[in-house]
Amino acid sequence: MNEGQRLDTLCIHAGQEPDPISGAVMTPIVLASTFVQDGPGAHKGYDYSRAGNPTRSALEGCLAALEGAKHGVAFGSGCAATSAILLSLAPGDHVLCGDDVYGGTFRIFDKVMKPWGLASTSLDFADLAKVEAAIRPSTKMIWLETPSNPMLKIFDIAAIAAIAKKAGAMFVVDNTFATPMLQRPLDLGATVAVHSTTKYLNGHSDVVGGAVLTNDDAIAERLHFLQKSVGGVPSPFDCYMVLRGLKTLGVRMRQHVASARTLAEHLSRHPQVERVFYPGLPSHPGHDVAARQMKGPGGMISFELAGGLAASTAFLKALRVFACAESLGGVESLAEHPAIMTHASLDPEARRALGIGDGLLRLSVGLEDVADLRDDLDRGFTAASSALKSR
């Protein structure tokens, strides 16, 4: 239907047709839980809204087109999407999982799926020889995030896809940080792309949602079955909200990237900053792979502030444009302290091993004027240095 169209066009039109009844150009929010049937079993494609809903179908079609996928399956949260993918495996199966995946994803592996019987190994996908060595006969899935969170490590999707293929394992890439505007995992050989639509895809910090995209008919059928059977479905209103947010995804991502580049350079020149983690900087170890597999390095930056917890606390408290909050990908800028906030569920040992220390801060660069964002960071630096002097 949208054959050959480019991403910015797909954001606005894919999966959506003017309403055949009224001609409304925007997708109606169909709140009905049930649909009339002409006779038993004779319906127009929808019988009950957990099994299928027209607003949800529009969202699924749009997200699938953006990821270059045949199938889209939407969920009520990124975690519900993740759980459905893992439930498509069987007890006794084994998964190789990135060692700095989203905290909630780690929690599903560790506290939900492990008791259920799913084995998993966490590792750093930078060392491909180690990845190959970690494959077991029971390894049915490889799961990773790139860029990762919060260290913004970059992993080579095509190289890991080759390992997964050889092992006969399904390869899942959580594409939440990059979005299909910047990276399309399925084009690079991944079997499945998963999203928290809560972040950039909706983009306005007013919905929690998730989605799974794939070209594999059998996997899609299984996920539709789990969507209907386990029931972690998004509301029609939330589907509409994400569709609305998606319309500006292209312009938003271009500005997120432009502003993040400017701020990453500013941070990398600042005397109070010990290290900046941003894939767009030539100093980033994943810079070349990012340049190859991404159309832009994204809108997330992490950095190590000198002075540890005292400095980072003063820094965050002084900010006036950046809000001190978890999450990411909205129009508004956010700053957070991973060790205390988003990554508190990791034990201190694991945090240290990943480099998540007391001076590490993570920024989600929003769409405010970048000069105001830079001034705000400088306000934070001034407060951090006074906090250290007054000790």
Q: Which residues are catalytic?
A: 50, 102, 174, 199
Distance, in Å, from the CA atom of 231 to the CA atom of 96, rounded to the nearest integer, reads 26
Residue 333 three-state SS: coil
Residue in 56, 94, 199, 222 binding ligand PLP, rule: CB under 6 A: 199
Does residue number 185 form part of the binding site for ligand PLP (CB under 6 A)? no
Binder of ligand PLP out of 66, 152, 186, 208 (CB under 6 A): 208
CA–CA separation, 5 and 30 (whole Å): 27
- Give min distance, CB of 273 to ligand PLP, in A: 24
Measured from the CB of residue 93, what is the shortest distance to ligand PLP in angstroms? 21
Window contacting ligand PLP (CB under 6 A); options: 102-110, 118-126, 213-221, 255-263:
102-110
Cα 34 to Cα 49: distance, rounded to the nearest angstrom: 6
Contact region with ligand PLP (CB under 6 A), list: 36-44, 76-84, 250-258, 366-374: 76-84
| Per-residue burial over 29-53, b = 16 or more CB atoms within 10 Å of its CB, e = otherwise | bbeeeebeeeeeeeeeebeebeebb
Structure tokens, 162 = 């080759």
- Are 312 and 337 in contact by the 8 Å Cβ rule? The answer is yes
Q: H-type helices in 19-123, by residue range?
A: 54-66, 78-87, 103-107, 114-116
**Distance of CA 308 to CAs 10, 152, 232, 354, 383, Å?**
45, 20, 40, 16, 13
Q: Using an 8 Å Cβ cutoff, are 210 and 195 in contact? A: yes
Q: Residue 339 carries which DSSP code?
A: T
Instruction: Report, in Å, the least distance between residue 362 CB and ligand PLP.
Output: 11
Q: Site for ligand PLP (CB under 6 A): which residue of 78, 203, 234, 250?
A: 78
Beta carbon nearer to ligand PLP, 198 or 302 = 198
Q: Is 179 in the site for ligand PLP (CB under 6 A)?
A: no
x/- letters, 130..159, toward ligand PLP (CB under 6 A): ---------------x---x----------
| CB of 367 vs ligand PLP, minimal distance in Å | 18
- Give the one residue of 27, 191, 196, 214 binding ligand PLP; rule: CB under 6 A: 196
Contacts with ligand PLP by CB under 6 A lie at: 77-79, 102, 104-105, 145, 149, 174, 176-177, 196, 198-199, 208, 210
